[in-house]
Chains A and B, each alone.
Chain A
Amino acid sequence: MRYLLEPFGSPFMQRALAEALLLGAVAAVVSVFVVLRRLSFVADVLTHTVFPGVVIGFVVAGTSGIVWGASVFAVLSTVLITVLAGRSRVTEDASMAIVLTGFFAVGVVLVSRQTSFTSDLTAFLFGRILTVDRQQLVVTAVIGAAVLLLLGLLGKELLFRAFDPAGAEARGYRVLALDLVLNLVVALVVVAAVRAVGTVLVIALLVVPGAAGRLLSDRLAGITLIAVGTALLAGWLGLVASWQASVNHGLRLASGATVVLVLVLLYGVAAAIATARKVRA
């Protein structure tokens, strides 16, 4: 037990833990919807389309500009994706892949024109959870509250639309507006995660917890509980792993990566349990 608690003696590790737990819980709730609505690719697209926003924000206003830049591009690309999904000119997955890579390439072009190319790039893409400050925690908390509020207010309607879009439309709900809201919620989580785990690894937080929950439960409450539990556990154990590896074994393992790896391991455990259940039944 001491092994699991000793990394968190210092303030920076405590803040990192707070950020991981906060972000993980919020992302896990959203991931339930992502998995239910099969939005994994949409979520992946959003994690890449905010990248140019992150770069522009950083260039214009330093590290505090990152969230603003990311937010602007999050809204822009959410609208673009939601609109594209409705049109049938080009198959949906191809147009989303093109949007994703196009935006990302813009980000790369912008970064390549700066002098400190490589280190900035990796910070944006993989985050630096160990350098999270109190202001960042506040931002995450605010975004988290906004996300949970939106999901709380519209949860029933979003579920209705998820399982029966035609019925929802017939009942008078504006499906396009609901889709826009959910995509926006995903985009908000991406923005909150940019500083902590970076744009590339946040997709894990947005898919794996919900997927693990879905493996073990058929009921929304069960799925959500398992998803949140998995994310919290992964945040904590992932940070422990990274710290212990660094302090006791001299091995530098990026914290964002260890959190994701623990998350995937927990998914594996869930898959094993699910298979065992089926074999027994």
Chain B
Amino acid sequence: MSLLQDGYARRALIEALLVGALCGLVGVHVVLRRLSFFTMAMTHATFPGVVLAALVGVDLLLGSGLFGVLVVLGVSWLTTRPRSDSAAAVGVVLSAGFALGVALLSAQAGFTRDLSAYLVGSIVTVQAGDLVKTALVLAAVALTLALVGKELVFGAFDRGGMVAAGYPAGRLDLLLLLVVELTVVTSVPAVGTIQAVALIVAPAAAARLWSDRIGPTTALAVLLGMASGVVGLAVSQAYQVAAGAAIVLAACGFFVLSVVVAPVVRGRPVPLGVG
């Protein structure tokens, strides 16, 4: 397969596999807790962090990660205030973040080129160092989710019961938001900002259609995430189209396929989501 012949293609493939697995793992919890809009907002709101990091000369992942933590804390605070509409608050943060990033970026030369890379990703320019970073993030997230995964699922289905049972539900919620944010800033260089959401949501949503149990759903989400990466890269090379977009379309394709095929194969109506 020609995907393995060039150095850059090999690195792109490894990055796609790592990012696909990472997004699949986290996606299960995002879908369970209906955090898709929040994830979308995260991709927009962490944008100024990337620009600032580039301006200052700090490592992009570190810079955008730190900025993202601030954003998560800000959004969490906004949504816990009384009489606040969380959807509107998220919308405001999303708008502010992106506008700030655009303003900062437009103040420099090379506006359009950098912005495009951020928006649509540039997986084919991934370096060995980026691969190491992604692998480390994957390991850290996998470990975290292995440790608190059950509690997170408990909180997703029965938050009241969880609080009553004495678990620190608020802190677990925040932990998950931070994990999502970390996943977003790690995936953006690969597939671009808006499309990182697809890789997080689509494989997990598709997996959810095939299984009612967390274990198999997670395994399938990881598999579909990685498969989207492989298929997307192959299509991108064959038809000369943007790699990030092709990966996203592959993920969406798997989802649509699951919507159509899963109920038929399983022989019964597909269960509802949470709540």
Chain A interfacial positions (CB closer than 8 Å to B): 35, 38-41, 43-44, 48, 88-91, 93-98, 100-102, 104-106, 108-109, 111-113, 117-119, 121-122, 125-126, 200-201, 203-204, 207-208, 210-211, 214, 251-254, 256-258, 260-261, 263-264, 267
Known: A96-B36, A122-B115. A261 touches B94 (CB 8 A): no
* A38, A88, A125, A207: most-surrounded residue (chain B CB, <10 A): A207
Partner of A264, one of B92, B195, B208: B92
Does B94 lie within 8 Å of A108, measured CB to CB?
no
Does B85 lie within 8 Å of A35, measured CB to CB?
yes
Does A122 lie within 8 Å of B116, measured CB to CB?
yes
Docked Cα-Cα span, A225 to B270, in Å, equals 46
Does B116 lie within 8 Å of A94, measured CB to CB?
no
Does A104 lie within 8 Å of B88, measured CB to CB?
no
A residues less than 8 Å from B205 (CB atoms): 90-91, 94-95, 98
A residues less than 8 Å from B241 (CB atoms): 109, 112-113
A residues less than 8 Å from B246 (CB atoms): 105, 109
B residues less than 8 Å from A117 (CB atoms): 116
Does B103 lie within 8 Å of A97, measured CB to CB?
no
Which A residue's beta carbon lies closest to that of B121?
Answer: A108
B95 sits at the interface (CB 8 A): yes
Segment touching A, from B61-69, B138-146, B177-185, B247-255: B247-255
B residues less than 8 Å from A210 (CB atoms): 88
Known: A109-B242, A113-B240. A93 touches B34 (CB 8 A): yes
Does A201 lie within 8 Å of B99, measured CB to CB?
yes
Closest CB of chain A to B160's CB: distance in Å?
20
Known: A97-B197, A257-B106. A41 touches B37 (CB 8 A): yes
Does B37 lie within 8 Å of A105, measured CB to CB?
no
A residues less than 8 Å from B92 (CB atoms): 207-208, 211, 264, 267
Which A residue's beta carbon lies closest to that of B243?
Answer: A112
B157 sits at the interface (CB 8 A): no
Which B residue's beta carbon lies closest to that of A102?
Answer: B252
Does A119 lie within 8 Å of B112, measured CB to CB?
yes
A residues less than 8 Å from B119 (CB atoms): 108, 121, 125
Interface of B is mostly: helix
Closest CB of chain A to B77's CB: distance in Å?
12
Which B residue's beta carbon lies closest to that of A238?
Answer: B99
Closest CB of chain B to A210's CB: distance in Å?
7
Which B residue's beta carbon lies closest to that of A262?
Answer: B99
Does A251 lie within 8 Å of B107, measured CB to CB?
yes
Does A105 lie within 8 Å of B95, measured CB to CB?
no
Partner of B274, one of A91, A102, A211: A91
Count of chain B residues near A, Cβ 8 A: 57
A residues less than 8 Å from B94 (CB atoms): 44, 203
Does B37 lie within 8 Å of A102, measured CB to CB?
no
Does B103 lie within 8 Å of A214, measured CB to CB?
no
Known: A40-B90, A105-B252, A112-B241. A89 touches B99 (CB 8 A): no
Closest CB of chain B to A166's CB: distance in Å?
18
B202 sits at the interface (CB 8 A): yes
Does B99 lie within 8 Å of A264, measured CB to CB?
yes
Closest CB of chain B to A44's CB: distance in Å?
7
Does A102 lie within 8 Å of B120, measured CB to CB?
no
Which B residue's beta carbon lies closest to that of A210?
Answer: B88
Does B106 lie within 8 Å of A254, measured CB to CB?
yes
Known: A94-B201, A118-B113, A261-B103. A200 touches B98 (CB 8 A): yes
B169 sits at the interface (CB 8 A): no
B residues less than 8 Å from A97 (CB atoms): 36-37, 39-40, 197-198, 201
Does A264 lie within 8 Å of B96, measured CB to CB?
yes
Closest CB of chain B to A269's CB: distance in Å?
13
B residues less than 8 Å from A41 (CB atoms): 36-37, 40, 87
Does A98 lie within 8 Å of B99, measured CB to CB?
no
B residues less than 8 Å from A91 (CB atoms): 31, 34, 205, 272-274
Q: Which of B237-275 contact A (CB under 8 A)?
A: 240-242, 244-246, 248-249, 252, 255, 259, 270, 272-274
Known: A261-B100, A261-B103. A90 touches B273 (CB 8 A): yes
* B91, B197, B240, B274: most-surrounded residue (chain A CB, <10 A): B91
Does B102 lie within 8 Å of A90, measured CB to CB?
no
Known: A93-B36, A109-B242. A260 touches B195 (CB 8 A): no
Closest CB of chain B to A206's CB: distance in Å?
8
Closest CB of chain B to A59's CB: distance in Å?
14
What are 23 sample pairs from A and B whose C-beta atoms fall under 8 A apart?
A: A40-B37, A89-B270, A90-B259, A91-B272, A91-B274, A95-B205, A102-B249, A105-B248, A108-B195, A109-B249, A112-B242, A118-B116, A125-B119, A200-B98, A201-B102, A203-B95, A204-B91, A204-B95, A204-B99, A211-B88, A253-B103, A264-B92, A264-B96
